[in-house]
Amino acid sequence: MEIDTVSHGCISKDRFRELQDDIAAGRRADSEFSRQWALETLNVDEAHAALAVKYGANTKPGDGVIVGVMDSGVDLNHPEFSGASMTETLLQDLPDEMRTDFGANEFSHGTAVTSIMAAQPNNGGFLGIAWGSTYKVFTMPIGDHLAEDDPRRAAFDWESAYRDVLASGVDIVNASYGFTGEFVENYTADQLRAPGRLGPPLQVVAQQGVTDPAIFVWIAGNDHGDPCDAGDAHCVADSSSPTGFSFNAISPGPEAGAMAKLPELRGHNVVTVAVGRDGRIADFSNRCGIAGPWCIAAPGVDVTGALFDSMTSTPGSARLALIRGTSIAAPMVSGGLALMKHFFRGQLSNTQLLTRLFATADKSGIYAPDRIDGSSSIYGQGMMDLGAAVSPVDNVQVMLNSQVAENGNDGYSIQSTQLRLGMAFGNSLSRSLAGREIAAFDALGAPFWFDLSGLAGTALQPSALGRLFRLMTPGKDADRQAGRGTRLTRAPYALAAHRGDWRFGLYESPANAQSSLLNLAGNAATVTYTAQTGLEATAFATVSQATVFNPAGLPRQQMSNMGALLAWRPADMPVGVRLGWLKEGNSLLGATATGAFGRLSANNVVTGFEAAVEVGGWRLGFDTEIGLVVPNAGGGLIDGMSWLSTSAMSLRANRRLGAQDDLTISVSQPPRIENGAATFRLPVGRTREGVILRESFSAGLVPSARQIDVATRWRRTGVFGGEFRVEAAASHNPGHVAAKPMFSLLAGWRGEF
């Protein structure tokens, strides 16, 4: 299995992981990355590395995703935003934040929040989690630059503001604000929907009727431990508080946690709680509470953020500060979702992204949902893990149906989906399929892309052991041309019996030429009738069966090979002809398909011509064969296949060198496809509705070169009661691929007992 990448071509899964680990290590060592401790905690290095390996080293994490930031404003001139794709919109005549609104190097909520996501890699400070996204900042009346008694605060129309933000085309909205001292469990669904401060805005956020609603990322709030007055909701005695009481903030505020009461908000709203460096809930953070199923944890303590005033400060830490709050945890989640959307090419709906964010969160240890100490009500779905979010969940499967199966059990494992090619194909498919992707889907329905040619590589050359086996097998061409042996090629363990003109054999190849397609039958059971006229008829069937696997992973036996051969070569004539038929029950020219590639079988018809003549003590032989292949491909990614034509030939010269020795020189071309093509219909992605996108194309099956083998063989009989054989051979364009010649030197002894 190979993964298609921009920078590294087609690489194996292990190589992908190796490159990802190397890049991730580089990220962690980078000063800007390491200055933001939260990035490694969330495995952002792994997510950035996966994007870099897949899409190239210059990939901008989050590229193509639009993130809306509803906040106090932003310092567009801050050096951390130099090069960022960012705009600012002042809603409803609100003023822009200015340097004079704060003391030197003072805090701007919107600038700090935006920087968590958008800080650029410019060697000036720290790194944003999704610095390649497009940011649209919308100024809201929540900043310190707007006086508490400013009438624009009270007059601000939140319902209209949400409509304006959503109309801008944002994919994700970061809402790092809320009202203090209020908790969602103290509201009923009717109260949350009622006209007033909450109802109309929340109904806009619900985006009912929208096919793919934007995701809103909310803060749980920073109420925990704050002073309160006796009688306030969730106000408990606290001797350290100025009032003697403090909030036990067991749930988020009403806007942030409204999905716990309003089903129309579920699926595209998430609330965040803040944790510290030790991974535990921050002392100030509200807990997930009844919003736990839609709540997630992210770092929000001692996080590096950008200050507003960059125009007068000197380079260095004066532009930055360590900040805290659930307002800082929220952009961690917003940026994480932007990375995920980028990685999956926007093919997952926002609802599916959020589902995946929850499913891949770290639920171990203190984040385990079934802990008796109530951790699920504290941390909700657990700690966000972006490395896991961009990695496959369970098996990755190639699906043949029209809809993605969310349970991941309706396809074939990508690991089992292979085309193992016969030598006649050469590099035809690896060449035709180069640069094409196939999409497979994990258990959550997310797409992952693999290089198709990696699933159907170049046919392998016979091993040295296989070549030695052929050298020592009796009944080879040189022996037959020298007038010894049978026309059947026999394995060393072959069995044969004769009765008159009939012959019965086991473990014999029906081919009477080494380069014949009929060798694909393997070692077969044969029945042969030989007439005095030189006519020979053979019927054969293989005695073994190949195993492939069905979608459930269970073995399924396939039909064996069978066929017939009719050959005519009168004893007093130097020429002969043959006509053969081979039915491959589970292969096509030796190629086998597993997994999503479906079934392959074929009917092969071959015609051959051979001739032999004595010249000056040499016996010269010639053999050529033309094949016609009628393929059958079905039940998988191969949509159809044309008829194929093949060729093979050999020239031999054999000479006796005495009573015990003979020499054979040969030039041959093994079977090669000369014409034909296959049509593939591949899954290449999905729509946000889960419909699998497919692409059809035709792939040529003709190799790029022609293999020519030149061999010299010497044989000596009577060596320790047997015979000794030596062969020196060279292959030009081995495997029908333009490549350097391959040389071999083989020797062996055989005897019969």
pLDDT tens, position by position, 709-743: 999 999 998 888 888 999 999 999 999 999 899 99
428-432, 463-467, 540-544: least confident range: 463-467
Evaluate whether 450 touches 442 at the Cβ level (below 8 Å): no
Q: Is the pLDDT of residue 477 over 80?
A: no
pLDDT in tens, 440-449: 999 999 999 9
Structure confidence at residue 736 (pLDDT): 93
Amino acid identity, residue 287? R
Q: Residue 546 burial (CB < 10 Å; 0-12/13-18/19+)?
A: middle
The contacts of residue 441 (CB under 8 Å, 6+ apart) are 396, 397, 399, 404, 405, 408, 411, 447, 448, 686
Task: Please spell the DSSP secondary structure of 299-323, one letter per residue.
Answer: E-SSEEEE-S--SSSPSSGGGEEEE
Q: How confident is the model at residue 90 (pLDDT cuts 50, 70, 90)?
A: very high
Q: DSSP class of residue 706?
A: -
Mean predicted confidence (pLDDT) in 106-113 = 89
Record the pTM: 0.84
Q: Tell me what pLDDT residue 313 has.
A: 45
The string of pLDDT tens digits covering residues 654-709 is 999 988 899 999 999 999 999 999 999 999 999 999 999 999 999 999 999 999 99
Given a cut of 60, whether residue 400 has pLDDT beyond it is yes
Instruction: Give dist(CA 585, CA 603) in Å, integer.
Output: 9
Indicate the range of 196-210, 286-300, 449-463, 714-728 predicted with least confidence. Answer: 449-463
- The percentage of the chain sitting over the pLDDT mark of 70, rounded to a whole number, equals 85
Is pLDDT larger for residue 50 or for residue 374? 50
pLDDT at 698: 95
Mean pLDDT across the stretch 269-298? 96
Q: Is the pLDDT of residue 523 over 90?
A: no
Q: What is the mean pLDDT of the chain?
A: 86
> Tens of pLDDT along 21-50?
666 666 666 778 888 999 999 999 999 988
Q: What per-residue string of b and e applies to 472-489 under the rule 16 or more CB within 10 Å gives b?
A: bbbbbbbbbbbeebbbbb
Q: What is the pLDDT of residue 533?
A: 85
| pLDDT score recorded for residue 552 | 37
Please write the tens of the pLDDT for every residue from 60-78.
Answer: 999 999 999 999 999 998 9
DSSP-derived 3-state class of residue 594 = strand
Give the pLDDT score at 254. Answer: 95
Tell me the average pLDDT across 422-436: 90
380-383 long-range contacts, Cβ below 8 Å, gap at least 24?
A: 380/271, 380/273, 380/288, 380/291, 380/292, 380/293, 380/294, 380/295, 380/296, 380/297, 381/292, 381/293, 381/295, 381/296, 381/357, 382/296, 382/297, 383/41, 383/42, 383/275, 383/279, 383/296, 383/297, 383/298
**Helix axis angle, 44-55 to 326-343, nearest 10°:** 20
Q: Is the pLDDT of residue 224 over 70?
A: yes
The predicted structure's pLDDT at residue 130: 97
The C-alpha atoms of residue 280 and residue 643 are separated, in whole angstroms, by: 66
Mean pLDDT computed over 464-481: 58
- The pLDDT assigned to 312 comes to 44
Name residues whose C-beta falls within 8 Å of residue 741's C-beta, 6 or more positions apart in sequence. Answer: 730, 731, 732, 734
**Exposed/middle/buried for 580, CB within 10 Å: 0-12, 13-18, 19+?**
buried
Instruction: Indicate if the pLDDT at residue 457 is higher than 90.
Output: no
* Domain boundaries of the chain, sorted by first residue: 61-389, 397-453, 459-486+561-750
Confidence of residue 246 (pLDDT cuts 50, 70, 90): very high
Superfamily of domain 61-389: Peptidase S8/S53 domain (3.40.50.200)
Two structure tokens written together for 440: 């497979």
The helix or strand, by DSSP H or E, that contains position 117, with its residue range, turns out to be: helix 109-118
Residue 12: the pLDDT is: 47
- Alpha carbon distance 480, 168 (integer Å): 82
